[in-house]
Amino acid sequence: MASPFTPANGPHYSVDSYTVGWIAALPDELQAAQIMLDEEHAEPNDFSQPQNDSNTYTYGRVGEHHVIITGMPRPYGTTSAATMATEMTNSHPNLRFGLFVGIGAGVPRPKHDVRLGDVVVSNPRGQSGGVIQYDLMKAHQQANPVPGANESVSELTGHIGAPPQALQKVLTDLSTRHEREESKIPAIMEESSTCHLPYRFETLSYLGSTGNDGQIVICTLD
């Protein structure tokens, strides 16, 4: 069913026009996803929700893409996410791919200094599909450790499937543009703050350990 807050007088589109599914785990993540919509839609007139689909959907548009957003119920977990994804795809047969977007902890390191507020996108490399599940890593002691080095090493015991080829190609183009053009993220956040007046956005700057500047965008409800 549509979210009870979905605008009844919003534009209607066919259920087949929605090609991107977006799952958010936490209420804050769901709120951020809804704020990122360029346009919010009413529930499609031709949408008939199966009885085995218990999701609540928000319909809208980001750029030229029609997007469906839903939030996870508690308790959170991989099983809940997989069930929601299955129900979403069964109810919306034209979905091309799904996104799981959320807030992750920072990973401050000398080489890749990832802080809370940075945007991280999974990218397949080597034996990894791009996302490493926490219980697919195993730590064990080195047989002959180098003096002064960490005696424990991490072994990858499995990985989650790689994103679709279509997304990987877009990621290549996006990363190239990001290297040669100024980031549009601050402008997008600023525009969102003016379109959603109850919310106040504050941008904090920091200097990472590698000397690269970063930004954290904080959204609070006034």
**Beta-strand pair 213-221/199-207:** antiparallel
The pair of structure tokens assigned to 116 is 């809370």
CA 183/CA 188 separation, integer angstroms: 10
Q: Which residues, in sequence order, are CB contacts of 88 under 8 Å at separation 6+?
A: 21, 23, 53, 55, 57, 68, 70, 95, 98
CA atoms within 13 A on the CB side of 115: 16
Q: Would you write out the chain's pLDDT as a tens digit for each of its 222 residues?
A: 666 556 667 788 999 999 999 999 888 889 888 988 989 999 998 999 999 999 999 999 999 999 999 998 876 666 788 889 999 999 999 999 888 888 777 777 777 777 776 777 777 777 677 766 665 556 666 565 556 555 566 666 666 677 778 888 888 888 888 788 887 777 777 776 665 545 554 544 544 444 445 544 444 444
**Domain spanning 1-103: CATH superfamily:** Nucleoside phosphorylase domain (3.40.50.1580)
pLDDT for position 135: 59
Domain extents in the chain: 1-103
pLDDT for position 26: 86
The residues with which 70 forms a beta bridge, in sequence order, are 23
SS3 state of residue 59: strand
H or E stretch covering 82:
helix 78-91
